[in-house]
A and B are shown apart, each in its own frame.
Chain A
Amino acid sequence: MGVLSEFESKQLLASHGIVVSRDRLARSANEAVAAAAEIGGSVAVKLCGPSLAHKSERGLVRLGLDNADGVRSAAEDLLVAATEEDGEVALLVSEMVSGNRELIVGVVLTEQFGAALMLGVGGILAEAVGEAVFRLLPVTRPDCQDMIDDLGMDALLGPLRGEPAVDRNALVDVLLALADAASRDGIEAIDVNPLVIREGLPVAVDALVVMSSR
């Protein structure tokens, strides 16, 4: 089973038409500072590598860094925090995607029914909240529309705290793109969490793609 790094995972999703956060890879604190300046505004710095699936749990994500000193210090801390088991790692500098709503989408191989597509309420509490709906692959556009209805989150998906309603068509497009990616590229599992809603449109902020070993 081959796990792609966050950077590679998001590049793959982007190639299927999913909007992802603007990312730059950096090898050093200096490169991270330069990348942050290029991206502009507030950034996140994360340790990035194929063996780093649960970054938040290990404190390997630093958010909302809006000056060079902050970026440098975060980058240095993260490089020190990397262990031998993490293998080859880099620093991923990403734009901060602002939005109050976080969804989760993914593809998973189930024992009973084979590959299935998921849409749920995302963020760090995704599993604790446990609001998620599934469809078996392949899916149709109406299947994806049903998923949004079934999630039963009209209040969450409507206009919220000054943000416009979630563009349901754009969300359906993301689901279809995931299904498309999973069917074409020998992908075994995809995890996009969070899928942040920015100005009504979904943006993949963190992702994990597992390639099938065959």
Chain B
Amino acid sequence: MNTDSFDLLFNPKGIVVAGASTHPGKFGFVALHNVLAGGFEGPVFATNPDQPTILGVENLASVSEVPAGAADLVMVCTPPQACPDILQTAASRGIGAAFIASGGFREAGADGARAEEELVELARSLGMVVAGPNGQGLISTPAKLAAQIVAPVPPPGPIAVASQSGNLVSAFMNYATHSGVGISRAVSAGNAAMVGVVDYLGWFADDSHTKAMVAYVEGVEDGRRFATHIRMAAEKKPVVLVKGGTTPRGALAAASHTGALATDDRVFDGMVRQSGAVRASTIEEAYDAVAAFATQPLPAGPRTLVLSSAGGWGVIAADAVTKSSLELIALPADLEAAIDELVPPRWSRNNPIDLAGGESRDTIPEAINLVVDHPEVDAVVYLGMGIQANTASHLRAGPYFEPAELARICEYHERQDSRFAQAAAEASARTNKPILAATELAITQPGNSGPATMAADRRYCFPSADRAVRALHHLWCYARWRRRHLSAGT
């Protein structure tokens, strides 16, 4: 696959929506709406032989009326029978890429499968790259391009998505929108007739707007090719994989114990690890991992310290660390002495560090810096952010806010949690060590100044300690793979 042709998909100079519709319930309407609402800055064309304008765009009767060289990408929303003609005409207007949203191909039976094969042959003979068919579209935030028949349009960010399920592209983008981390490129591979998930990953790996990528796959057609391409992508950037569906196919020689143990899932898992990708078992875990890769430095080692002002959450996090590939280090004596200077003696004196409510105004930022600066600490999990702002929220909503003049203390609480979020970000950037902050308030109270500050800075606030630890485990697995398998290291 020529990667220049992917530029036409993700950075087209102009786009044509073929099969635009006036009916707001049809995807020919939604596709055009999304391109326009997304703010695409190049020329936008729409074809519909029966209507003069849709959403203010003057319709062309056919793709043949698109000025030669004005567009690179055609988004096809017509019935499947119209696709071959559209491709041929598009090629004659200098259009080099198509996203075919139309269904009715391989997923629809033998006739559809034949039509899909013919479409691929046609595209090859025309020198076009064809994404889909039967896909939901693609997003490319650097190009302000939202060529898709569904929501959302996520904010720009460092995460790239490729998926065999369009709805899971949306799911990852919903998470990226809610968490504020954002998306660089996202594509629904549809039937992947010509371009598959690993081809997109190959292009994302070289994309300067992408820091980490996540992919959802079901079937794998050519296992060896898949493994090779995953490895090539993972050598450049972190790759998170989720696999859905288990097929009954197993080893050929199942007479042996080894053959009986060689289930598809175990072999796939080994292939993923060998190739340097990390594998998540759920969509949530996959998003947590890719968001961590996209917003945190890689740890230099497994030595993890849990810093908490949130009681039991610290214990839960420590338990999760011990069950992972990470190491819950014993609290270094010099660190214990330093923290003794900060808080009253009732604090936990072990890892997890639980400050036990003994904090004053600057304690948390100082404690964050102390632990992350320690040479025996490779990574920090920080818990308890948002507690003060949550109190403020409750005070603000209560009957005594005005009579008791609580505005000042509320503002102080909110400012504090915002400071804590910033302190964690600055300490991580300064030391190049990951500091993963987690609180359920990221979900239950996203306006809370702790998680809200992180979202505004496009840093991911994990929804729980366990999920932060799991993501950190993935960071360490990838960092260790790089160290062991790539001669360059880092």
| Chain A residues proximal to chain B, CB less than 8 Å | 1, 53, 104-114, 116, 118, 120, 122, 126-127, 130, 132-136, 139-140, 142-143, 145-147, 149-150, 188-191, 193, 208, 210
Q: Is the CB of B259 within 8 A of A136?
A: no
- 8 CB < 8 A contacts A-B: A106-B261, A108-B256, A108-B259, A110-B223, A135-B274, A139-B274, A146-B484, A193-B257
Q: Is the CB of A136 within 8 A of B274?
A: yes
A146 to B261, CA, bound (A): 18
Q: Is the CB of B252 within 8 A of A109?
A: yes
A53 to B252, CA, bound (A): 16
Contact among A53, A111, A145, A208 for B249, CB-based, below 8 A: A111
Which 10 A-B residue pairs are closest in the complex by CB-CB distance?
A: A106-B258, A134-B270, A113-B223, A191-B256, A112-B223, A189-B253, A142-B484, A132-B261, A108-B262, A108-B258
Q: Is the CB of B251 within 8 A of A109?
A: yes
Chain B residues with Cβ below 8 Å from A106 are 256-259, 261
Contact among A110, A126, A142, A188 for B262, CB-based, below 8 A: A110
Contact among A104, A105, A113, A190 for B227, CB-based, below 8 A: A113
A122 to B256, CA, bound (A): 13
Chain A residues with Cβ below 8 Å from B259 are 106, 108, 189, 191
Chain B residues with Cβ below 8 Å from A110 are 223, 250-252, 262, 264, 267
A118 to B485, CA, bound (A): 19
- A107 — nearest CB in chain B belongs to which residue? B258
Q: Is the CB of B266 within 8 A of A134?
A: yes
A111 to B271, CA, bound (A): 13
A111 to B481, CA, bound (A): 26
Contact among B223, B258, B270 for A190, CB-based, below 8 A: B258
Choose among B223, B259, B261, B269 the residue with the greatest number of A CB atoms under 10 Å from its CB. Answer: B261
Distance of A177 from chain B, by nearest CB (Å): 15
On whether A126 and B257 interact (CB within 8 A), knowing A110-B262, A140-B485, the answer reads yes
Chain B residues with Cβ below 8 Å from A146 are 273-274, 481, 484
Chain B residues with Cβ below 8 Å from A135 are 270-271, 273-274
Distance of A136 from chain B, by nearest CB (Å): 6
A-B pairs with CB below 8 Å: how many?
A: 115
Choose among B223, B255, B256, B258 the residue with the greatest number of A CB atoms under 10 Å from its CB. Answer: B258
Chain B residues with Cβ below 8 Å from A143 are 274, 485
On whether A104 and B274 interact (CB within 8 A), knowing A111-B249, A142-B484, the answer reads no
Distance of B416 from chain A, by nearest CB (Å): 41
Chain A residues with Cβ below 8 Å from B257 are 104, 106, 122, 126-127, 191, 193
- Does B408 lie at the interface of the complex (its beta carbon under 8 Å from any beta carbon of A)? no
| Chain B residues proximal to chain A, CB less than 8 Å | 220, 223-224, 227, 249-253, 255-262, 264, 266-271, 273-274, 325, 481, 484-485
- B255 — nearest CB in chain A belongs to which residue? A53
Q: Is the CB of A116 within 8 A of B484?
A: no
Main secondary structure of the interface of B (DSSP, over half): helix
Q: Is the CB of B256 within 8 A of A116?
A: no
Q: Is the CB of B266 within 8 A of A113?
A: no
Q: Is the CB of A111 within 8 A of B258?
A: no
A189 to B271, CA, bound (A): 18
Q: Is the CB of B267 within 8 A of A126?
A: no
On whether A134 and B267 interact (CB within 8 A), knowing A112-B220, A113-B227, the answer reads yes
A68 to B258, CA, bound (A): 35
- B261 — nearest CB in chain A belongs to which residue? A132
Chain B residues with Cβ below 8 Å from A132 are 261-262, 266
Main secondary structure of the interface of A (DSSP, over half): strand
- B483 — nearest CB in chain A belongs to which residue? A142
On whether A127 and B261 interact (CB within 8 A), knowing A111-B250, A189-B253, the answer reads yes
Q: A107-B258, A145-B484 are in contact. List 20 more A-B contacts (CB 8 A).
A: A53-B255, A106-B259, A108-B256, A108-B259, A110-B250, A110-B252, A110-B267, A112-B268, A113-B268, A122-B257, A132-B266, A134-B267, A134-B269, A134-B270, A134-B271, A135-B271, A136-B227, A146-B484, A147-B270, A150-B273
Chain A residues with Cβ below 8 Å from B485 are 140, 142-143
Chain A residues with Cβ below 8 Å from B269 are 133-134
A135 to B267, CA, bound (A): 7
- B252 — nearest CB in chain A belongs to which residue? A109
Q: Is the CB of A208 within 8 A of B256?
A: yes
A210 to B481, CA, bound (A): 33
Q: Is the CB of B223 within 8 A of A114?
A: yes
Distance of A57 from chain B, by nearest CB (Å): 11
- A129 — nearest CB in chain B belongs to which residue? B261
Q: Is the CB of A188 within 8 A of B253?
A: yes
Contact among A114, A120, A191, A208 for B224, CB-based, below 8 A: A114
Chain A residues with Cβ below 8 Å from B267 are 110, 112-113, 116, 134, 136
Chain A residues with Cβ below 8 Å from B266 are 132-134
A110 to B223, CA, bound (A): 10
- A189 — nearest CB in chain B belongs to which residue? B253
On whether A112 and B261 interact (CB within 8 A), knowing A134-B267, A142-B485, A143-B274, the answer reads no
A67 to B267, CA, bound (A): 45
Distance of B28 from chain A, by nearest CB (Å): 38
Chain A residues with Cβ below 8 Å from B224 are 113-114, 136
A109 to B267, CA, bound (A): 11
Q: Is the CB of B255 within 8 A of A118?
A: no
Chain A residues with Cβ below 8 Å from B270 are 116, 133-136, 147, 150
Chain A residues with Cβ below 8 Å from B268 are 112-113
Choose among B268, B269, B270, B325 the residue with the greatest number of A CB atoms under 10 Å from its CB. Answer: B270
A143 to B274, CA, bound (A): 7
- B259 — nearest CB in chain A belongs to which residue? A108
Chain A residues with Cβ below 8 Å from B252 are 108-111
A142 to B485, CA, bound (A): 7
- B486 — nearest CB in chain A belongs to which residue? A142
A143 to B272, CA, bound (A): 12
Q: Is the CB of B251 within 8 A of A111?
A: yes
- A109 — nearest CB in chain B belongs to which residue? B252
A193 to B258, CA, bound (A): 9
